[in-house]
Amino acid sequence: MSKVNLRFKDLEWVKLAETSTILILGIGGIGSWVSLLLSRIGCNLYLFDDDTVDQTNLSGQHFKSNDINSNKVDIAIRDAKEYSLNSNVEAFGKYDNDSITNSIVISCFDNMTSRKIAFDKWKVLPERVLFIDGRMLAESFQIFTVQKGMEKVYEEYLFNDDEIPDLACSSKATSHCGAMIGAKIVSIFTNFIYNQTLNSDLRFIPFKLYYDIELMHEHVESN
């Protein structure tokens, strides 16, 4: 049992969740929050990112000024230990065609090329169970949740990077939006683990979730 989840240790999903191994791909505006929250559950985490922290990251990502020029994955490991007492976190560099995959993958990339690589590797894994894809702007976000058998539906939402509107870097990320999508992703994960634990579909898992901060509106779709 994790040392930090004593306040929720009796929830039905905790034991399976804290023994789950999860790939988190991209430790930036989404992944820095997801890794922190999952580390507090006690999950085993494999973190992929080859980027370093710069000053622009401080507005939307879970880093502090002293982290500038440090590797993002190293900071995420530090935070997992300091905020969560979780040492079951490993760091890797850039995610590419030679990287490992896993039954549970959370894509937090900011580009479609890397997202496609991750999904293509996951979808051919026989023991695959869950692929979560987070996409964020400064005041809105989308989450796609793909369970085994839903691959074709999700592929309709994959496109080329040159089809994405080019936004100014100063309008792409805020911390509160990043924290919100991180919390939503972790909630979807725990709902999935709850259903796995009870061998049921009692908890809802949306295929597509869209949230708009300006309108305070959330829209969810099943597959």
For the chain, the structural domain boundaries read 14-221
* Tokens representing residue 206 in the block: 């949306």
Average pLDDT over residues 118-145: 97
Mean per-residue pLDDT over the chain, rounded: 94
Does the pLDDT value for residue 179 go beyond 80? yes
At the topology level, CATH places domain 14-221 in: Rossmann fold (3.40.50)
In the chain, pLDDT over 70 holds for what percent of residues?
95
Long-range CB contacts for residues 117-123, cutoff 8 Å, separation at least 24: 118/25, 119/146, 119/154, 119/155, 119/158, 121/97, 123/151
Q: How confident is the model at residue 171 (pLDDT cuts 50, 70, 90)?
A: low
Q: What is the pLDDT of residues 69-107, one digit of tens each?
A: 999 999 999 999 999 989 999 999 999 999 999 999 999
Q: Which helix (H) or strand (E) holds 46?
A: strand 44-48
Name the least confident of 9-18, 100-109, 189-198: 9-18
Extract the tokens encoding 181.
Answer: 């999508």
| pLDDT at 7 (0 to 100) | 83
208 - beta bridge partners?
A: 144, 221
Return the pLDDT at 3: 58
pLDDT of residue 172: 75
Residue 112, pLDDT score: 95
- Least Cα distance to 34 among 142, 171, 144, 185 occurs for 185
pLDDT at 44 exceeding the cut of 80: yes
Mean pLDDT value of segment 36-43: 95
| Residue 132: pLDDT over 70 | yes
Q: Residue 167 above 80 pLDDT? A: no
- Cα–Cα distance for residue pair 123/143, rounded to 1 Å: 18
